[in-house]
Amino acid sequence: MYTKKVTWTINIFFIVLLMGVGLRLLPDEVIVEWIVLVGLIPITLLIIANYISKPPDQLQLEVTRELEQTRLQEGEHLEVVLKVKNTGERAFDMLEILDQLPRQVSLHQGSNHLITSLDVGEETSLRYSIRCDYRGRWKIGPTRFRARNFLNSAFTTEVREETISGLVIIPTFETLNEIPFRTKYPKIAEGPFSSKFKGEGLEFAGVREYSSTDTPRRINWPATAKYGRLFSNEFELFRSADLLLILDATEKSSSVIDDQIKAVLSITEYFLKYKCRVGLIIMRDTVDKFALSSSREQLLRFTEKLIDVQATKVVNFKILRERMKKNLELYFPLNCLTVILSPLVSQQVNKILIEIAQRRTNSIFLSPSIVSAEWRQIEDKTDPALMLTHQDLLVDLRTELLKVVQRGLLILEWDVTIPFSVFMSKLKHINIRRGRR
């Protein structure tokens, strides 16, 4: 293809030529005529040079991409190397290379755009580093090439689809050291849940009189010295239990969906560490379920699914309610601990979740605050219109939360500006009652 430079050069050529022909018709203008005709020589040479130096229609390039890995976590960096070799018979005076990147990654170092020249057989490298900003399955590429001649009057463009490389960015999550959840139905196996039964546990539960079956290390010597008779320490036993996580991925949870996903993975990792069985239901326009399992592979299954989960609009809430009811009845026992992760801002979604929580009495609402999530995205926090919208959202949220509390259900409200592990640690030391915290 040719640029506008060639068009303008040809136009100037014909303008000067017509001027020379016109001047020839006038008397006593012979000298001027020859001057004009001589001026056509450099313009003619320029036109010839434009055509001779035109790049080939097909670029003979060998392109290879090198990636250290294709599976990364959010926030990690990846070095990308693109090698380009001229395998044709002509050199490139000016070769422009642009490696296309998805919007979900950002440049960390270097540039994905390069302008260079390539002799026959010469190889060049485009090297840069990207930061993985958002979870998902994305593609790096294709690579776009544009070869220009030295006059910048003609060019050839080409897109190489073979350089497309898949990139999987998995969501990050925090490691929890302690968790505030309690269950009404613990199992015999050892786990993270404190039990009403006393024994050789880890956490101190109280003091009682010494029994002949007590070991010497359980004797409370300060109490024994004070009262003149033997006393023994009691400790809480810790048991395992089944855990069901319900993730609200409906339309109005879009602001906190990423925070909810990280919380799901953190809780799952913590309970699987103690061999508890964990299941998951993702509630959106469709219902995705993962049956209870204590395998470490369960965390990988959850992660693979949650990579692609986005908040979606529910077309029919009646159908959604029936699907949720069917999956819960078929795959998850009523006595398993149920943790429902939802911002609780949608009236229709809340009706479904409240019905589930009332039927499954061993349930907790973990509600990431959509108010704090929206507030952190506002740049101008002094704008009166934004302030009014924020206050309206706050009132609506409090109204919906009150409806849940009035039914005797437990809500743990989480300010998403606080790390989830810190939030869980603080709740560990709070005496949790029925009602919102």
The answer on 326 and 274 residing in a single domain is yes
The answer on 401 and 295 residing in a single domain is yes
**End of a domain among 212, 237, 262?**
237
* Straight-line distance from the first to the last Cα atom of the chain, in angstroms, rounded to the nearest whole number: 68
> Is 275 within 8 Å of 296 (Cβ atoms)?
no
Residue 131 domain-assigned (yes or no): yes
Q: What is the pLDDT of residues 194-218, one digit of tens each?
A: 544 444 445 556 777 878 777 787 7
Q: Give the per-residue pLDDT at 27.
A: 55
28 has pLDDT over 80: no
The answer on 270 and 349 residing in a single domain is yes
Q: What is the CATH number of the domain that holds 289?
A: 3.40.50
pTM over 0.85? The answer is no
Q: What is the pLDDT of residues 49-99, one digit of tens each?
A: 555 556 677 889 999 999 999 999 999 999 999 999 999 888 888 899 999
Confidence band of 431 (pLDDT split at 50, 70, 90): very low
Residue 194 domain-assigned (yes or no): no
Confidence band of 379 (pLDDT split at 50, 70, 90): confident
The answer on 351 and 255 residing in a single domain is yes
User: What are 288's strand-pairing partners?
Assistant: 282
Q: What is the CATH number of the domain that holds 69?
A: 2.60.40.10
Q: Which domain holds residue 218?
A: 199-237
Q: Give the per-residue pLDDT at 388.
A: 76
The answer on 142 and 28 residing in a single domain is no
Q: Give the per-residue pLDDT at 328.
A: 94
Residue 183 domain-assigned (yes or no): no
17 has pLDDT over 50: yes
Q: What is the pLDDT of residues 283-309, one digit of tens each?
A: 999 999 999 998 889 999 999 999 999
Q: What is the pLDDT of residues 304-363, one digit of tens each?
A: 999 999 999 999 999 999 999 999 999 998 888 899 999 999 999 999 999 999 998 788
The answer on 339 and 222 residing in a single domain is no
Residue 184 domain-assigned (yes or no): no
CA angle 40, 44, 46 (to 5 degrees): 120
Residue 308 domain-assigned (yes or no): yes
**Encoded tokens for 278:** 């964990």
The answer on 412 and 341 residing in a single domain is yes
Please give the tally of structural domains in the chain. Answer: 4
Q: What is the pLDDT of residues 134-193, one digit of tens each?
A: 999 999 999 999 988 766 666 688 999 999 999 999 999 999 887 777 665 555 444 555
The answer on 367 and 271 residing in a single domain is yes
Q: Give the per-residue pLDDT at 435.
A: 40
In degrees rounded to 5, what are phi and psi of residue 378? -85, 125
Residue 187 domain-assigned (yes or no): no
Confidence band of 399 (pLDDT split at 50, 70, 90): confident
The answer on 297 and 409 residing in a single domain is yes
> Is 117 within 8 Å of 154 (Cβ atoms)?
no
Element (H, E) at 296: none
Neighbours of 173 (CB within 10 A): 24
Confidence band of 9 (pLDDT split at 50, 70, 90): low
The answer on 336 and 230 residing in a single domain is no
Spatial CB neighbours of 59, under 8 Å, sequence gap ≥ 6? 88, 92, 145, 147, 156, 158
How distant is the alpha carbon of residue 168 from its chain centre? 10
Residue 73 domain-assigned (yes or no): yes
In degrees rounded to 5, what are phi and psi of residue 294? -105, 5
Q: What is the pLDDT of residues 98-133, one digit of tens each?
A: 999 999 999 999 999 999 999 999 999 999 999 999
> Is 317 within 8 Å of 289 (Cβ atoms)?
no
Q: Nearest to residue 371, comparing CAs of 407, 334, 401, 340?
A: 401
The answer on 249 and 106 residing in a single domain is no
Residue 306 domain-assigned (yes or no): yes
**Encoded tokens for 105:** 């990654």
Beta-sheet pairing, 71-73 with 337-341: unpaired
How distant is the alpha carbon of residue 363 from its chain centre? 28
**End of a domain among 237, 267, 296?**
237
The answer on 229 and 259 residing in a single domain is no
